[in-house]
Structure 1
Amino acid sequence: MPKIRPLFFTLSAATIAAAAAFAPAASAEEGMWTFDGFPTAKVKAEHGWAPDQKWLDRTRAAAVRLAGGCSASFVSPDGLILTNHHCVIGCLQDLSSADSDFVQNGFNAGDRLREKQCPGQQAEVVTSISDVTMDIKKAMGDAKGEALVKARDARISEIEASECPDRDKTRCQVVTLFGGGQYKLYQYRKYSDVRIAWAPEFNAAFFGGDPDNFNFPRYAMDGAFLRAYEGGKPASTPVHLKWNPRAPVDGEMTFVVGNPGSTQRGMTAAQRAFQREVALPDRLIQLSEFRGRLIEAMGTDPARLREGKDTLFGYENSFKALYGRMQALNNASFAAKLDASEADLKAKSAGKIDGDPWADIEQAVNAYRDFAKVEGQIDSSGGSALYGYARTLVRAAAEREKPNNERLPQYTESRLPLTEKRVLDPVPTYAWLEEMSLRFWLSKTREKLTTDHPDVQALLGKESPEGMAQRLVSGTKLADPAVRKALWDGGMEAIKASDDPLIQLALSQDARSRALRKQFEEVYEAPVTAAQAKLADARFAAYGDANYPDATFTLRISYGTVKGWRENGIDIPTRTVMGGTYDRATGAEPYVLAKAFAENEAKINKNATYDFVSTNDIIGGNSGSPVLDKEGTVIGAAFDGNIHSLGGNYGYDGELNRTVSVSTEAIQQGLEVLYPAPALVQELKGKK
């Protein structure tokens, strides 16, 4: 399931606050469960078997979170990591050149000496989870508004700093669960040197392209291998999952272990209305228009086709995912179920909670509506990597001058190393794409807010969007990592002395961006946090512990079965076979056979299971998650959901929602026949 990338109208404020909410009481096979809250008794009652603590501990210790927004797992004692191809496409793009297109042609290191480091990537493994709820609630006390947010964030930063003093190898993150009903401290072992080992051709990994995305049947080898390094050597990972290149069995239990990004299943009717009426339509319009401009700009220019492929892939995926959410919210039957769930909670909690949290949230949503459009446009990097660097450099310089507990959350000591890495690692940028992104953002900001709006006047002055974008990109030196490092190391003194036009723009916009953040915290985040904490208490009182928290890009486990579904009177099968690729190929994009498939048709096992579906409950961020059987062995890697799963952001339908995974049997064919990697084959067998 490709990650949804932040683009223009960010949705970040309202989405992040809502994402910390809570899901309805779980039905069968529903739920993205925390490892310290796995419903063992429920699973055993439904399936006659459930993992024991040893199984859960081993699996947790082998699960990996990737900094790019994906999931993964260790599958050998030498740091080998299984994930999706679309989770490494950014790395492949960054490492490619006109002479070596690793996106189009794939990458096969052959041996460890030729594995290449992925810029900006980091792998993390959870080592412990502890409850810090009472500590943080005590710090917040009776505070309200911005004071509540500052008190909460200050205590979180103190806990994260004190519990993980070794920032080279560890990272701490306090996670808000159940809308503030719980706070958990997640401690991670991190690996900052991550290298690409193996990835198939793009036409194999994404065969079917956008038309097949979020659909099934699928014929996609969306798998890849990374490796974690430490001290210049492959990391020692004695706890890892066993590779099992076999076909799944219909009806067998499956477990997906990963880091689902965010869900909003606990949204109130007022919050869903905001998404349906404001946030999603605005975002979809801009995504659609920019996608068209990007396709036109790429044209038939080979260089631009290569340079823009990853970006186009992200925009197309984002549009389809958000369009699916929009359809779900506009589906009368689905909406009625969500409304009924909310009504049931209201009835069960009547007289048991203080005040009216639903009314409090509605008031906050209405207040946010008044400035959401401004925040979405002004507090943005415009889709530009270079302006994103500038904003981070300016903000980091200011925040690093403050005590740790007074900083914005993104710049606390526990989070700063990854921020620094992603700013300073060498990543190629493309002037034509940067200029087009800034031009589009600036023109849309003027269009949406109007020429006379004070924020537009402050942003553009007398310049046109086209002229300003050209000036900014032609004048900046931020594409050079050495320039960025000098600004990072030089702090605010270097920032203020810089004549770089993007740095100057970020400096001029920083005060307004902070003011918008403060306004959001005051009128939305603080009252919603307080209201959701009350709703969390009400839900626990009404439904007991049959709850799981909304996704927060932290480690979760879901359980399900290998099972198809019935739609429009047709039974959708559980799997496809590799030979079906040849039947589906047309010779025209996106159904062009990958070169290796065309050349090895006589050698491939056409009956090998390619992709399969299961009832596991997942969402974006689960991309790359291992699919495990009861024995805890890896039989697949989750990479997508069917079209019905897009409504999974707001609720789960066990009859229709399906996870789509690539089987280990298919990846093994890739390793042995299509893109031979004998060293990896031996490593996965447990042999040196």
Structure 2
Amino acid sequence: MKRLITVLLLVITGFFSRMHADEGMWLLPLIEKLNIGKMTELGLKLTAEDIYSINKASLKDAIVIFGGGCTGEIVSAQGLLLTNHHCGYGQIQNHSSVEHDYLKDGFWAMTKEEELPNPGLSVTFLIRVEDVTAQVLAAVKDGMSENDRNTAINEARMAIQRKATEGTWYSATVSSFYNGNQFYLFVYERYNDVRLVGAPPSSIGKFGFDTDNWEWPRHTGDFSVFRVYTGPDGKPAPYSKDNIPLKPKHYLPVSIKDLNKGDFAMILGYPGRTMRYYTSYEVDELLKITHPNRIKIRGIRQDILMADMQADPKINIQYASKYSNSSNYWKYSIGQKAGLERLNVKAKKEETENQFNKWVNADAGRKEKYGEALSLIKNATEKRAEYANAQQYISECFSQGCEILQLSQIASALITAMKSGDQKRLSDLSDNIKKNIAESFYKDYNAPTDKKAVKAMMKLYRDDVPSKFHPDFYVNIVDKKFKGDIDKFVDDMFARSVLSDQAKLIAFLDKPNQKILENDPVYLTSNSISKISTEVSNNLRQYDQDLTRGRRLWMAALMEMTPDKTQYPDANSTMRLTYGQVLDYDPRDGVTYKYYTTLKGVMEKYKPGDYEFDVPQKQIDLYNRKVYGRYASPKGFLPVCFTTNNDITGGNSGSPVINGNGELIGLAFDGNWEAMSGDVAFEPDLQRTIVVDIRYVLWVMDIYAGARHLVDEMTVVM
């Protein structure tokens, strides 16, 4: 009987361990040593070298950094690339107009000649990773100040990067891990000709918009399609009509086989940032400063933008991407703040700190080595609080909240050119501004909308931020000239500035005048803000050394304190792998969420004419006739999304979700509301990745959009 009970306990323990997410975003070169055994148990059929290799084609050769903050994957021998709709949203918006509204109607290139170039967009492939910790720390000596330590480290990093790229067109970065305790070299290859191939209408690609963002059940077809091009020689090249589609080292086959609970799932991508080793003091800063500020400031501005967007189709196109970029992390902050409080994360961090204090004080050597770690973090975090608060308000209210102030950089450049007395320099600069300003700024700018936002942001800053952090334009101009009336001040600024209107700026450039520009109200206001911003930043920097040292010691202590636990590094925008399973979850008592959603759920959420939940008529017709093609589940429905227990964060958007055979089964695009605290504290019972099912992606391409030629490019596994 005892033996039977023991066996049952082992089975039950094994079962429940598989039901938990496997915490960690792992470095690819370490998979063989740390992860391959567990991954194989869960259903992986590949070797570690099939995933990451510098000697042969592997999965990592199909994964790219898409733009500056997403992930994408190559899915054909002709460089076809998939990423999220919200990752390609800026490019889709940039190509849209009232006459050709690709945000509303979608876009599909039926030939390669119809594919649309995207200046400034690039994709980046990982070539190799190398542990260079010993080289980076070779010149670091005990007793060094943080400044001297950083100088020695940065000199070593630069030398390693130069050596790694000599004689190549590659780029290289030495990245810090474990808060400066380890360092790895990443060598990359970048391609700059990336063309838009297809995108569903936003009523599919962003179905649910803000209401459904970070939520499950989800029904969003969050994907877009691009193609990578090379020069005729196969090497990276700027856009040219003579370029040819990329011939990748590896591309992902696509599986349309049915998914079941417990199926193996791994994700490769570029997670941006996690803070899993934050202390209670840093969590407190998130709860009291970072999240409340972001929620309040962005919420006010977003309401202004949305009102104008809904009133005018042109403004909707102009501000769609800006609004989306703002609202995503606005809602993230709402969710993370609530999650940190609900799950009592600060108290859990304090428990770890209490364990640390007992451990470190039990040994004189430990106390000497690590004893100051927590006090350094605590003192720096608490003393910098007022400056961190002011800096965030400066960034959110002025830098991000007042678009017109961005143009002060043009004024500064023009003034510098005029002061130089070099007429050719001034003429060339003026011509360049004329040539590029419409596309770079005014194309997606509406002055009346911005004026409303500027008024709100300037009032909010004055009301919420202590007067010692106020830019002097409040007293010197708003109070003295406009008797404290911010509305009148802003009206005057927009009326008089040569920067507030494209035609006015171009007319000024035809006859530039230094005195006019030096007295321009936008230029003067921006300079006033810049002065206080510099002052705040300088005050913040005085705590950087203690905070950096404290975090490094804290991380090193945690690794030494728990030697049996493999500590994975925080995300830092380098390629990582996370593995787990297709799973449902229980968000609260008495409620279980299935691991998949279907097209039926789209129709249940459908609200005719609603900007978040409208559905294209063609999609309704196809649903009513049950035209699902080969993409239907054997159970009779068309799958839309599913959940896994993989460990992801921002930057993983667009990442491939891959089965045990190395085949693409979906695109990761979100996390779930119940585990929004996950960037700070992983929640194994709740943490889920929300994925758009590749079968829905292909159905939209093939049957909804009629772009079967794109599916035919792929290797589809049935």
Shorter-chain TM-score tier? 0.7 to 0.9
Written as runs of structure 1 = structure 2, the 5 A alignment for 1:563-574 is 563-566=583-586, 567-574=588-595
* Corresponding position of 2:372: 356
Alignment of 1:550 onto 2:543? no
Deviation at 1:479, TM superposition (A): 9.0
Q: Name the CA distance, whole Å, in 1 between partners of 2:135 and 2:681.
A: 31
* Corresponding position of 1:521: 541
RCO higher in 1 or 2 (8 Å CA, sep ≥ 6)?
Answer: 1
* Corresponding position of 1:531: 550
Name the SS of the counterpart of 2:700 in structure 1.
helix
Deviation at 1:179, TM superposition (A): 0.8
Q: Name the CA distance, whole Å, in 2 between partners of 1:264 and 1:384.
A: 30
Alignment of 1:370 onto 2:400? no
* Corresponding position of 1:107: 107
Q: Name the CA distance, whole Å, in 1 between partners of 2:170 and 2:39.
A: 38
- For the 8 Å contact 1:434–1:473, the answer to whether it is kept is no
* Structure 1: runs of 5 or more not aligned: 1-26, 399-421, 488-493
Deviation at 1:123, TM superposition (A): 1.0
Deviation at 1:30, TM superposition (A): 0.7
Deviation at 1:263, TM superposition (A): 1.1
Decide which moves more: 129-138 or 324-333. 129-138
**Cα distance change, pair 335–531 in 1 and its aligned pair in 2 (3 A):** closer
**Cα distance change, pair 374–336 in 1 and its aligned pair in 2 (3 A):** closer
- For the 8 Å contact 1:299–1:305, the answer to whether it is kept is yes
* Aligned mate of 2:299, from 288, 292, 297: 288
* Corresponding position of 1:540: 559
Q: Name the CA distance, whole Å, in 2 between partners of 1:384 and 1:121.
A: 25
Q: Name the CA distance, whole Å, in 1 between partners of 2:673 and 2:517.
A: 51
- For the 8 Å contact 2:335–2:677, the answer to whether it is kept is yes
Decide which moves more: 651-660 or 243-252. 243-252
Name the SS of the counterpart of 1:86 in structure 2.
coil
- For the 8 Å contact 2:21–2:647, the answer to whether it is kept is no
Deviation at 1:453, TM superposition (A): 3.4
1:606-630, Cα deviation, whole Å (9 max, x unpaired): 6122100010011111110000001
Q: Name the CA distance, whole Å, in 2 between partners of 1:556 and 1:112.
A: 32
* Corresponding position of 1:559: 579
Deviation at 1:146, TM superposition (A): 5.1
* Corresponding position of 2:71: 71
- For the 8 Å contact 1:149–1:526, the answer to whether it is kept is no
Alignment of 1:684 onto 2:714? yes
**Cα distance change, pair 424–686 in 1 and its aligned pair in 2 (3 A):** farther
- For the 8 Å contact 1:247–1:663, the answer to whether it is kept is no
1:165-213, Cα deviation, whole Å (9 max, x unpaired): 679x533222221111112222211112222111101011122232222
* Corresponding position of 1:645: 675
Deviation at 1:67, TM superposition (A): 2.4
- For the 8 Å contact 1:68–1:87, the answer to whether it is kept is no
Counterpart residue identity of residue 606, structure 2: A
**Cα distance change, pair 196–55 in 1 and its aligned pair in 2 (3 A):** same
Deviation at 1:571, TM superposition (A): 2.1
Written as runs of structure 1 = structure 2, the 5 A alignment for 1:142-221 is 142-144=143-145, 148-149=149-150, 152-153=153-154, 155-157=156-158, 159-161=160-162, 163-164=164-165, 169-221=169-221
Q: Name the CA distance, whole Å, in 1 between partners of 2:157 and 2:531.
A: 24
Decide which moves more: 650-659 or 540-549. 540-549
Counterpart residue identity of residue 543, structure 1: T
* Corresponding position of 1:669: 699
- For the 8 Å contact 2:97–2:314, the answer to whether it is kept is no
Decide which moves more: 38-47 or 293-302. 38-47
Q: Name the CA distance, whole Å, in 2 between partners of 1:479 and 1:197.
A: 34
* Aligned mate of 1:37, from 23, 30, 36: 30
* Corresponding position of 1:576: 597
Q: How many residues align?
A: 626
* Corresponding position of 1:457: 472
Decide which moves more: 43-52 or 614-623. 43-52
1:146-167, Cα deviation, whole Å (9 max, x unpaired): 5555554555455445544679
1:616-665, Cα deviation, whole Å (9 max, x unpaired): 01111111000000111100000111112311111112211111101111
Decide which moves more: 40-49 or 639-648. 40-49
Written as runs of structure 1 = structure 2, the 5 A alignment for 1:269-418 is 269-350=280-361, 351=363, 352=366, 353-378=369-394, 381-384=399-402, 387-388=405-406, 390=408
**Cα distance change, pair 461–499 in 1 and its aligned pair in 2 (3 A):** closer
Counterpart residue identity of residue 120, structure 2: G
**Cα distance change, pair 478–561 in 1 and its aligned pair in 2 (3 A):** farther
Counterpart residue identity of residue 614, structure 2: V
Deviation at 1:139, TM superposition (A): 5.2
Counterpart residue identity of residue 374, structure 1: A
Q: Name the CA distance, whole Å, in 2 between partners of 1:198 and 1:238.
A: 23
Name the SS of the counterpart of 2:640 in structure 1.
strand
* Corresponding position of 2:14: none
* Corresponding position of 1:127: 127
**Cα distance change, pair 472–132 in 1 and its aligned pair in 2 (3 A):** farther
Decide which moves more: 650-659 or 27-36. 27-36
Q: TM-score, normalised by structure 1?
A: 0.82
**Cα distance change, pair 592–356 in 1 and its aligned pair in 2 (3 A):** same
- For the 8 Å contact 1:72–1:82, the answer to whether it is kept is yes
Name the SS of the counterpart of 1:183 in structure 2.
strand
Decide which moves more: 337-346 or 181-190. 337-346
Name the SS of the counterpart of 2:472 in structure 1.
helix
* Structure 2: runs of 5 or more not aligned: 1-19, 53-57, 232-239, 417-435, 479-484
Counterpart residue identity of residue 618, structure 2: A
**Cα distance change, pair 147–457 in 1 and its aligned pair in 2 (3 A):** farther
Decide which moves more: 539-548 or 255-264. 539-548
Deviation at 1:214, TM superposition (A): 1.5
Counterpart residue identity of residue 532, structure 1: R
- For the 8 Å contact 2:280–2:347, the answer to whether it is kept is no
Deviation at 1:346, TM superposition (A): 4.2
Decide which moves more: 336-345 or 366-375. 336-345
Deviation at 1:338, TM superposition (A): 3.4
Counterpart residue identity of residue 351, structure 2: A
1:231-263, Cα deviation, whole Å (9 max, x unpaired): 332223132222223332221110011111111
* Aligned mate of 1:596, from 618, 622, 647: 618
* Corresponding position of 1:431: 446
* Corresponding position of 1:224: 224
Question: What RMSD over aligned residues (CA atoms) do the two structures have, in Å?
Answer: 3.5
Counterpart residue identity of residue 324, structure 2: F
Larger Rg: 2
Deviation at 1:121, TM superposition (A): 1.9
Deviation at 1:82, TM superposition (A): 0.9
Decide which moves more: 254-263 or 48-57. 48-57
Q: Name the CA distance, whole Å, in 2 between partners of 1:302 and 1:644.
A: 35
Q: TM-score, normalised by structure 2?
A: 0.79
Deviation at 1:87, TM superposition (A): 0.7
Deviation at 1:425, TM superposition (A): 7.5
Deviation at 1:546, TM superposition (A): 0.8
1:398-455, Cα deviation, whole Å (9 max, x unpaired): 9xxxxxxxxxxxxxxxxxxxxxxx99984632133444444443333222235x5364
Deviation at 1:308, TM superposition (A): 2.5
- For the 8 Å contact 2:678–2:687, the answer to whether it is kept is yes
Report % sequence identity.
Answer: 22
Name the SS of the counterpart of 1:611 in structure 2.
strand
Q: Name the CA distance, whole Å, in 2 between partners of 1:82 and 1:72.
A: 6
Q: Name the CA distance, whole Å, in 2 between partners of 1:565 and 1:390.
A: 50
* Corresponding position of 2:269: 258
- For the 8 Å contact 1:146–1:522, the answer to whether it is kept is no
**Cα distance change, pair 347–127 in 1 and its aligned pair in 2 (3 A):** farther
Decide which moves more: 227-236 or 122-131. 227-236
Name the SS of the counterpart of 1:330 in structure 2.
helix
Q: Name the CA distance, whole Å, in 2 between partners of 1:165 and 1:472.
A: 51
Decide which moves more: 586-595 or 181-190. 586-595
Q: Name the CA distance, whole Å, in 2 between partners of 1:160 and 1:384.
A: 38
**Cα distance change, pair 460–30 in 1 and its aligned pair in 2 (3 A):** farther
* Corresponding position of 1:445: 461
